[in-house]
Structures are given as structure tokens and as C-alpha cells.
């Protein structure tokens, strides 16, 4: 069971390889002229010194009888092979896919443990839109990698350690623990941080206290640890509020902050020293990974231990690699972190590889992303020019969605409306983030993301809700049409069926490129094909009972793939809108 394009590609791969005398890719792609096109002959012909059209013919001869899948094959142009699937094959594959727990998506041939490092806000600092991106993209990757059979371990690498905690703890003492806890718990993290910072800058006495406090923290002084713990607890309480609002999978069990790696810091140093990788440079202990230079073209060090004996962000990230590979058992580690940390992560990987902590065949991948911009194309800021608070942004999304729903469906009860608005508002924010290529910046635009037209969450959710309403009106249960093999007489029916079967490839493209927008584009195409089908092929008013049932089966299959696809992106599908 697989996307028909994958099925035919497998058959042709054998044929082309037999002709070429070595394994070759038949290069089968969807096509406008037929259902698909195999372009492999062109590349092999060159290598074989033969005519591409001849090679194509030989490959077809070698493939033998393909009539169980294809209705026709035709060699065209310089040597493409146009492929048209048989209607029976499409219909039969659709029935199989719909009986499958993954709706026809291939499970992983190599399931393994994957750690995904995402979200990772910093204690006593506001979560900003960069954390929105990491959280939403990471959440989608977790869901999709689990869906195909991997064991996914979520790790929220919060910033909960380092020198700022000296001043933060002293500020907490000044405020009184209860007041401080309240301020943090209600989410005034930035205010808290800024006050601490300005005291630190203004007062030498405070500075000294803060520095002494860092030393106490590092030596594990009981009272200091307790105060530190309050900071972490109150901040994570606030993060959890945002996670609930955002409807993502993260929980307290996924917290693996920087501090969790403290016991490994000396291990990192010892192992690097034993391996002969640690060198002294300007009083610090560093590693020089190959291939990294500064502007002056001098080798760039990764600082492991500073002159004052303190460890670095990089040191805890190295401990983190050891932990993920050796304790968690990960073979793939994904870092969903903004583009500015690219070099840091590259250097950490380089050192981990030199040290043998990331063995060959193990993957460490930076899932990088661009910035969220305002309409002025600058980093998104609030009207007052401050960083946008995530919680406020999400509240606004729901309020705006509620207004949109009230307009579209004034009859809906208030309770339903509030549920639906929540799914649409949060869905819209997530989808606008996920649907653009993650490496690019995108413009945060309320109007566009909440529009019921175009490549938006509401448009996709609406396609799903519309199908639910067709079944409500017909008073037919969705499950009752599931065993029906549809007839594909109309071109829109056939196109829709073929699109549904391509869900498999769409999911795998998202996985192979770690790019959620691939799945978004697919779901948008699915909704578009459904709209065309629904306009041309009456469902409830279909003349014949068989036609009606067949079309209802197509509707149900569309809705199931839409709901599953959106759910892999972390977006809910209301049954009415």
C-alpha cells in the first residue's frame, strides 16, 4: 500500500535498472499531461550512449504487463513516459487506504528513537514569537514522526541556568518570595527580568550580591536552590498556560532544561581532555573543530570552560548530546531552533563528532526557521514597540475568530461558537506559521490567516466541516459508506481520489525535508480538488443511489484525510463552522 506514484515508481525502478544494468531512479513525478511521468530514460540514455526514446521503450518492455495499475503508457517528447493509472486501480487503492490505520501512509521502514528539542523558552523571560515558531514546528514534527512509527522523545531545553540567575534570585529576595511568585505566575516575566537587570546595572551593591549568589547557586547551597526552584516553577507554570492555549503536546514531563546537564559538564571536560581535544586558549579551555574560522580567518574555538572556571551554553549542549545518545538512546536528534544559533549548533555537532559522541549514521539536524515579521517587515513588535506576548497574541486570535464565526454562522449556539472559535483562531495562527517554508521569514497578518479563502486553516477546516454537514443533512453515518468502492466516472472524482492517495507522499515529503509546509500545500490542494468535485458532482442530488453512495464515500475519505492531516500539524477540525 502506497501512493500510486510510489507503486508505479517501484515497478519501473526494477525495469529501468534491468535495462541500465545498475540501480537507477525512474524519476516518476506527477504530471499535467497524464497522471504521472517517468523521466528516467533521459539520464540513463546519456550514460549508456543510447537514444532516450529507445531506452524508454526497452524499460517498458522490461516492465512487462503493467495493466494491473496502468490504463496506458505512452512515450512522448525526447523520451518521457506518460503514465495513466487505471480507474479500477485507483478505486481499489482508495478502499485499501481507507481501511488502513494510517490512511495509506507508509510506516517507517526504520523506526527508531528521535529526540526533538523544541520550544525552549527562558526562565523569567517572556516567550516571544520565536518560541511560538519553535513550539509549533516542533509539535508538528513530533506528531508526524510518531505517526509513521518512531519513538519520539520531546525535550523542552528551557534556559534555566547561568549567570543571570544571580541577579534574578536577588531580585526575588528583594520583592519578597510571594510577590515575586505572583508576578511571574501571571506572566509578567519581562517586567521581572528588566527590573532585575536595571538594578544590576545601577547598583554596585546589588551587583556584588548577584555575583555572590551565582557562586552559591553553583555550589548547590540549599536556600539558593530553593529560590532558584521558585523562579523555575513559576515560569514553567506560565509556559504551561501558553502551551495549553496553543494546544501542543508539551508537559512538565518534557522539561529538560540546561540545568539538567550540570552533572555532565565535568564529564564533557574530562572526556575531551582524555581524547586530547581540549586545548588552552587565552586562559580558557576550548576545542577547535575543523572548518570553523572567524573573520580574520583564524580557527574559531568552542569555549568549554571559561577562565573563571565557569561552563558555557556550548558545554551543556555537549552534555546534552551525550545524554540523548547514551541515556535516551536517540539515533536522530532534531533542534528546532532559530537561524541565529546555526553556528553554535554546527560547532557543537562538529565537536560531538570529533569526540565520537555522535557516531556515524546518527543524525543531528538543525531545523532552523526565519523570523515573524510585522506588516512593516520588521521583527513583530507590539504597538508600544515591545516584544509581543504570546499569551496576548493567542487571546486575540480567538477573539477575532469568534467574530468571524458569528458572521459566517449566526445561528450557532454561544457555547459551540466559543469552542469553534478556539479551534479556528489557534489553528489559524499555527497554520500561518507552518504553511510557509520554515527557513523563510513570514509576515504576521491577521486578515490573511483568518480568511476563509486561500491557503489558510479556516479554509481547510471549512472543507472538513462542510463534509460533516453533508452527512448531517443526508442523515447518513460516515462509517456506513466506508466499505464502498467509489466509481470514478467523472474527471473530478478521479482527480480527488488520486489526490487522497497522495497523502502518503505528502507526509513523507514533510518528514524527509522536516518541512511542515509540504503537508500544508497538500491539504490545500486536497481542499481545492474537493471544491471542484463538489461543484461538478452533485452528492445528495445525485440521480442514482449508487452514485450518491460512491460520492459520499469520496466525501468521507476527503474529510478523514483532512482531519488527520490537520491533526498532524496540531490543528483541530471542528464539525461545523
Q: Which residues bind ligand ARG (CB under 6 A)?
A: 117, 120, 122, 157, 159, 317, 320, 335, 337
Residues 281, 468: Cα–Cα separation, whole Å: 66
CB of 171 to ligand ARG, least distance (A): 20
Cβ at position 10, least distance to ligand ARG in Å: 39
Q: Write out the DSSP string of 430-465.
A: HHHHHSS-TTS-EE--HHHHT-SSSSSHHHHHHHHH
Write down the H helix ranges in 368-502. 390-408, 414-434, 446-449, 457-474, 491-501
**Shortest CB 339 distance to ligand ARG, Å:** 11
- Torsion sign over Cα 237, 239, 240, 244: positive
| Closer residue to ligand ARG in complex, CB, 34/380 | 380
CB of 335 to ligand ARG, least distance (A): 6
Q: How far apart are CA 281 and CA 273, in angstroms?
A: 14
Q: Find how far residue 199's CA is from the centre of its chain.
A: 40
Grid cell of 66 as nine digits? 503493467
Answer whether 429's CB lies under 8 Å from 569's CB. Answer: no
Specify the residue, 120 or 286, whose C-beta has the smaller distance to ligand ARG. Answer: 120
Grid cell listed for 191: 517586567
Nearer CB in complex with ligand ARG: 132/557: 132
Least Å distance between CB 549 and ligand ARG?
A: 52
DSSP state of 539: S
- φ/ψ of 475, rounded to 5, equals 55, 45
Nearest of 398, 400, 424, 402 to residue 412 by alpha carbon: 402
Is the CB of 164 or the CB of 486 nearer to ligand ARG? 164
Question: Please, what is the minimum distance in Å from the beta carbon of residue 541 to ligand ARG?
Answer: 55
CA distance 63 to 19: 10
CB nearer ligand ARG, residue 159 or residue 301: 159
- The residues pairing with 367 across neighbouring beta strands, listed in sequence order, are 336
Residue 294, phi-psi category: left (phi > 0), alpha (psi -120 to 50), beta (remainder): beta
Question: Counting every residue, how long is the chain?
Answer: 577
End-to-end CA distance of the chain: 34
Q: How far is the CB of 145 from ligand ARG (least distance, A)?
A: 18
Nearer to ligand ARG, 126 or 234 (CB): 126
Cβ closer to ligand ARG: 150 or 259?
A: 259
For residue 289, which of 360, 351, 247 has the smallest C-alpha distance? 351
The Cα–Cα gap between 66 and 233 comes to 63
Q: Least distance to ligand ARG from the beta carbon of 157, Å? A: 4
Cβ-based nearer residue to ligand ARG, 269 or 320? 320
Pairwise CA distance, residues 139 & 569, whole Å: 7
- Least distance from ligand ARG to the Cβ atom of residue 317, Å: 5
Query: Which string of DSSP letters, residue by residue, matches 344-362?
Result: HHHHHHHHHHHTTSS-TT-
Nearer to ligand ARG, 159 or 427 (CB): 159
CB-nearer residue toward ligand ARG: 305 or 324:
324
Per-residue buried b or exposed e for 77-105, using 16+ beta carbons within 10 Å of the residue's own CB: eebbbbbbbbbebbbebbbebbeeebbbb
Please report how close the Cβ of residue 126 comes to ligand ARG at its closest, in angstroms: 11
- For the bound state, the minimum distance from the C-beta of residue 340 to ligand ARG, rounded and expressed in Å, comes to 8
Of 17 and 119, nearer to ligand ARG (C-beta) is: 119
Percentage helix, strand, coil for the chain under 3-state DSSP, each rounded to 5: 55, 10, 30
Amino acid at each position: 500500500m502506497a501512493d500510486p506514484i510510489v507503486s508505479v515508481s517501484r515497478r519501473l525502478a526494477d525495469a529501468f535498472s534491468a535495462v541500465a544494468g545498475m540501480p537507477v531512479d525512474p524519476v516518476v513525478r506527477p504530471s499535467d499531461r497524464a497522471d504521472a511521468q517517468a523521466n528516467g530514460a533521459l539520464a540513463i540514455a546519456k550514460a549508456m550512449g543510447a537514444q532516450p526514446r529507445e531506452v524508454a521503450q526497452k524499460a517498458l518492455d522490461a516492465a512487462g504487463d503493467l495493466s494491473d495499475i496502468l490504463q496506458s503508457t505512452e512515450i512522448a517528447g525526447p523520451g518521457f513516459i506518460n503514465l495513466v493509472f487505471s480507474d479500477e486501480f485507483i478505486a481499489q487503492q482508495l478502499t485499501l487506504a481507507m481501511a488502513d490505520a494510517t490512511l495509506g501512509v507508509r510506516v517507517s521502514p526504520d523506526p527508531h528513537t528521535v529526540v526533538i528539542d523544541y520550544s525552549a523558552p527562558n526562565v523569567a523571560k517572556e516567550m516571544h514569537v520565536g518560541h511560538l515558531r519553535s513550539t509549533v514546528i516542533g509539535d508538528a514534527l513530533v506528531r508526524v514522526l510518531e505517526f509513521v512509527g518512531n519513538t519520539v522523545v520531546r525535550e523542552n531545553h528551557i534556559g534555566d541556568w547561568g549567570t543571570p540567575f544571580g541577579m534574578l534570585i536577588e531580585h526575588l529576595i528583594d520583592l519578597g518570595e510571594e510577590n515575586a511568585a505572583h508576578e511571574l505566575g501571571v506572566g509578567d516575566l519581562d517586567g521581572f527580568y528588566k527590573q532585575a537587570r536595571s538594578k544590576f546595572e545601577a547598583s554596585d551593591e546589588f551587583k556584588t550580591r548577584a555575583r555572590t549568589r551565582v557562586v552559591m547557586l553553583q555550589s548547590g547551597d540549599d536556600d539558593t536552590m530553593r529560590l532558584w526552584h521558585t523562579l523555575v516553577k513559576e515560569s514553567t507554570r506560565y509556559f504551561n498556560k501558553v502551551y495549553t492555549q496553543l494546544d501542543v503536546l508539551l508537559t512538565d514531563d518534557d522539561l529538560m532544561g540546561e540545568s539538567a546537564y550540570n552533572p555532565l559538564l565535568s564529564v564533557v571536560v574530562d572526556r575531551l581532555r582524555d581524547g586530547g581535544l581540549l586545548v588552552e586558549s587565552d586562559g580558557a579551555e576550548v576545542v577547535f573543530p575543523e572548518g570553523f574560522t572567524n573573520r580574520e580567518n583564524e580557527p574559531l574555538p568552542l569555549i568549554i570552560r571559561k577562565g573563571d572556571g565557569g561552563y558555557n551554553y556550548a558545554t551543556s549542549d555537549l552534555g546534552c548530546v551525550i545524554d540523548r545518545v547514551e541515556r535516551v538512546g536517540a539515533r536522530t536528534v532534531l533542534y528546532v531552533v532559530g537561524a541565529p544559533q546555526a553556528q553554535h549548533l554546527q560547532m557543537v555537532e562538529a565537536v560531538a563528532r570529533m569526540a565520537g559522541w555522535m557516531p556515524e549514521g546518527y543524525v543531528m539536524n538543525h531545523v532552523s526557521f526565519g523570523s515573524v515579521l510585522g506588516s512593516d517587515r520588521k521583527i513583530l513588535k507590539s504597538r508600544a514597540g515591545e516584544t509581543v506576548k504570546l499569551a496576548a497574541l493567542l487571546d486575540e486570535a480567538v477573539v477575532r475568530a469568534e467574530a468571524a464565526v458569528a458572521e459566517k454562522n449566526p445561528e450557532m449556539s454561544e457555547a459551540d461558537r466559543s469552542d469553534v472559535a478556539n479551534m479556528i483562531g489557534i489553528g489559524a495562527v499555527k497554520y500561518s506559521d507552518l504553511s510557509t517554508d520554515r527557513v523563510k521569514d513570514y509576515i504576521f497578518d491577521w486578515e490573511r490567516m483568518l480568511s476563509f479563502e486561500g491557503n489558510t486553516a479556516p479554509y481547510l477546516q471549512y472543507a472538513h466541516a462542510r463534509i460533516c454537514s453533508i452527512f448531517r443533512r443526508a442523515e447518513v453515518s460516515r462509517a456506513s459508506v466506508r466499505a464502498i468502492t467509489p466509481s470514478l466516472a467523472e474527471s473530478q472524482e478521479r482527480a480527488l481520489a488520486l489526490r487522497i492517495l497522495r497523502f502518503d507522499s505528502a507526509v513523507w515529503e514533510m518528514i524527509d525535508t522536516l518541512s511542515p509546509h509540504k503537508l500544508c500545500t497538500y491539504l490545500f490542494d486536497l481542499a481545492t480538488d474537493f471544491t471542484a468535485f463538489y461543484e461538478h458532482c452533485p452528492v445528495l442530488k445525485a440521480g442514482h443511489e449508487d452514485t450518491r453512495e460512491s460520492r459520499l464515500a469520496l466525501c468521507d475519505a476527503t474529510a478523514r484525510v483532512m482531519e488527520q492531516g490537520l491533526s498532524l500539524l496540531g490543528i483541530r477540525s471542528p464539525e461545523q463552522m
